[in-house]
Amino acid sequence: MKTTRLSGILLHPTSLPGGAGIGDLGREAYAFVDFLAETRQSLWQVLPVGPTGYGDSPYQSFSAFAGNPMLISLDSLVSDGLLAESDLKDAKRLPQDRVDYGPVIEFKNACLWKAFDAFEGNATDAQRAELSRFNEQSSSWLDDYALFRSIKDGSDGAEWTKWDKHLRVREDKALYFWGQNHTREIAAHKFFQYVFFRQWLHLAHYANEKGIRIIGDVPIFVAHDSADVWAHPKLFHLDAKGNPKKVAGVPPDYFSETGQLWGNPLYRWDVMEKDGYSWWMERLRATLQLVDIIRLDHFRGFERYWAVPGTEQTAVKGKWEHGPGPKFFEAVQSSLGNVPIIAEDLGFITPEVEHLRDQFGFPGMRVLQFAFGNDDQADSFKPYNFPHGCVVYTGTHDNDTTVGWLTSSGAGDSTRSGEEVSKERDFVLKYLGTDGHEIHWDMIRLSLASVARVAITPMQDLLGLGSDARMNVPARETGNWSWRFLSDQVTPETRSRLGELTQVYGRDPRRTETSHTEPDGSNGKPQ
């Protein structure tokens, strides 16, 4: 196995500066790639990039295959001649330091529809042919997605279980007549996907040319209100009306005394197994067209998952049920080859989960914020116990920022007592030999110096930001996913310091000819 040491930054594109009230795939995204290359990073990790639904969470998407049109760069559409500069004038009224999703969605949707009308009226034959090729190549998921979105739009945004019965159960005649009467809306949603994929792939190619590979996030579960569940109801545990019989979550844990009730419908793994998990294979194949490495979220759910009755209001009354286990990953290898996967193996991890992870050579995760508590698993997160092949984070999108973790009052969002928090803080300062005034740099240094093969730093920690910059509080239904940074927050000192530490701790990809080694030891994207 290759031993190349790598590092990178965790930043979702919505958090980029610029854009129309939300980070996008335009020039600031390219500037961020340049920043990564300048500071000797080799990885950019993002959250799921699908179209967001309930709570604006990237983990509750309308599709496991589609891209989020809110990430489309409007400036690029101006350059393409599909929008005028004057169309963007109202963007200046949107906040630049956070995402105010309601106004952003309203403004960007209006602009995207203008761009669609301009394309319909003025596109060249070559452009129309390119769109046609995209539609044909993506038809296995795009047709259902565009139809789903058009019906949802025509139903005032209602969940698909509340649509007209004939559309809800996908009667052929009902779908045909809807399609005939809403050709423009369906074509528009396909166009939005065409633009997203075109912009994303151009950015990804630019990143690869700069020596930056993208780590994408694949949530194990999909949203109930999604094209995936509507189009493939037999793959999920649903009742006759399409409502989940049982849903996903986790039992009481570090973040919540009542557990986390995610609400995602659970898979009928026995049904999926009969056709070789073909829906999953298509999903992973589509993801690998966009990213270089997959972070497989909630990996433990492939061994066992927490199943909660669909009528419950908390995750307390659930039970562990068996996942597909090794049969699933054998199917992945048979269909897709040696896929570069990072296993998100956080939470209640059993020896069986560890065996499944190690059986297929997937690197697991270590989070430094979990290393200094008094619980049973803290020792496995201490750097001196890291396995060499793991991926270390100072924190993830679900954690407080490192500065917030150390300095916020009380136990915050966790189930720790005030006494436990105090002991944890005293221990981390003693462990690091610091007074904590630069705790973010102390933890970044610890991460980069560790034996972990890959070290990932959230952008908030690099900038030394407090709890106000947190991305997500698990189990909190609103107020998440809105953080953004401003360009002037990235100082020359930050750039210099990150680059120097990366070089000092042997993570500069330019120092070795094997700089393109994947975290699992494979090289390059599966084809």
Q: Which of 80, 143, 330, 398 is catalytic?
A: 398
| Angle in degrees, CA 485, 206, 43, rounded to 5 | 60
Instruction: Cite the beta strand spans of 378-506 per DSSP E.
Output: 391-393, 454-458
Sheet holding 260-265, edge to edge: 260-265, 246-250, 304-309, 319-322
- C-alpha 345/C-alpha 266 separation (Å) is 19
Q: Which of 297, 345, 413, 508 is catalytic?
A: 297
- C-alpha 319/C-alpha 373 separation (Å) is 27
The answer to whether residue 344 is catalytic is yes
Question: Which amino acid is located at 478 in the chain?
Answer: T
- C-alpha 299/C-alpha 230 separation (Å) is 25
Angle between helix axes 183-209 and 172-181 (nearest 10 degrees) is: 80
> In sequence order, which ranges of 375-488 are alpha helices (DSSP H)?
402-407, 418-432, 439-449, 459-462
The answer to whether residue 106 is catalytic is no
Q: In 3D, which of 69, 81, 217, 237 has the Cα closest to residue 146?
A: 69
Question: What is the CA 422 to chain-centroid distance, rounded?
Answer: 32
- In the 3-class helix/strand/coil scheme, how is 137-176 assigned residue by residue? HCHHHHHHHHHHHHHHHHCCCCCHHHCCHHHHCCCHHHHH
Q: Which of 228, 292, 344, 518 is catalytic?
A: 344
**Which residues are catalytically annotated?**
297, 344, 398
